[in-house]
């Protein structure tokens, strides 16, 4: 079954659809622009979701995976809720992030590193660890620019809202087995 118009390479389009629950709806995009108009971080994006979808349809793999748009998605779900074709836009943004990281095409490391630092703590302890995350990430990513938030971090500690030690769940080995199995099932 042909999923798009014209005589072109649909490999990228199909890959995106395959990796996204409900992703088939992508080909029904009307190019109405409701998504970009609803997006709180739209002004910071290289491309609005509407543009990205047309680029995916056109097979522009490199340009799409280099775009900062998915990394500026704040997952507010406004676009997805308002889309007249019920395209799961937020889920597609997640897909593009995963594909960009695997293809090593997105060159600003801040956002992917934040995600992977977060995941690192979850996989070590089963819980997120805010203090460890903030210190590890901010000390490696432009630490001088972050000096201003230091007093706030200190106040969070004083106000008993920033535990200094992580909590580890009892079933951490079970959790790791589950996560490893899931990754190998997906082939990553």
Summarize as ranges the residues that interact with other proteins (CB under 8 A): 19, 21-22, 40-41, 44, 71-72, 74-78, 80-81, 90, 94-95, 97-98, 101, 110-112, 114-116, 118-119, 122, 126-128, 130-131, 134, 137, 148-149, 151-152, 155-156, 159-163, 167, 169-171, 174-175, 177-183, 185-186, 188
Coil, helix or strand at residue 21:
coil
Locate 54 and state its tokens. 């047309």
CB 169 within 8 A of CB 145: no
Give the whole-angstrom CA distance, residue 89 versus residue 73.
10
Query: To the nearest whole angstrom, how small is the minimum distance from the Cβ of residue 36 to other proteins?
Result: 15
Query: To the nearest whole angstrom, how small is the minimum distance from the Cβ of residue 132 to other proteins?
Result: 11
Question: Between residues 9 and 182, which has the closer beta carbon with respect to other proteins?
Answer: 182
Question: Between residues 28 and 86, which has the closer beta carbon with respect to other proteins?
Answer: 86
Q: Choose among 101, 20, 8, 107: nearest CA to 54.
A: 8
Question: Between residues 54 and 75, which has the closer beta carbon with respect to other proteins?
Answer: 75
Give the whole-angstrom CA distance, residue 80 versus residue 75.
10
């Amino acid at each position: 079954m042909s999923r798009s118009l014209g005589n072109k390479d649909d490999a990228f389009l199909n890959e995106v659809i395959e990796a996204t629950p409900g992703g088939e709806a992508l080909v029904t995009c009307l190019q109405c622009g409701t998504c970009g108009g609803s997006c709180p971080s739209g002004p910071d994006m290289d491309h609005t979701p509407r543009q990205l979808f047309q680029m995916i349809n056109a097979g522009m793999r490199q340009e799409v995976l280099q775009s900062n748009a998915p990394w500026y998605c704040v997952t507010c779900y406004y676009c997805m809720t308002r889309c007249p074709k019920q395209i799961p836009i937020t889920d597609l943004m997640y897909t593009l992030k995963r594909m960009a990281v695997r293809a090593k095409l997105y060159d600003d490391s801040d956002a992917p590193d934040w995600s992977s630092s977060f995941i690192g703590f979850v996989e070590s302890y089963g819980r997120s660890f805010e203090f460890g995350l903030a210190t590890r990430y901010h000390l490696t990513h432009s630490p001088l620019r972050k000096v201003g938030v230091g007093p706030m971090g200190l106040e969070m500690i004083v106000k008993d809202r920033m535990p200094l030690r992580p909590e580890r769940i009892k079933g951490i080995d079970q959790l790791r087995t589950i996560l490893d199995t899931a990754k190998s099932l997906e082939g990553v």
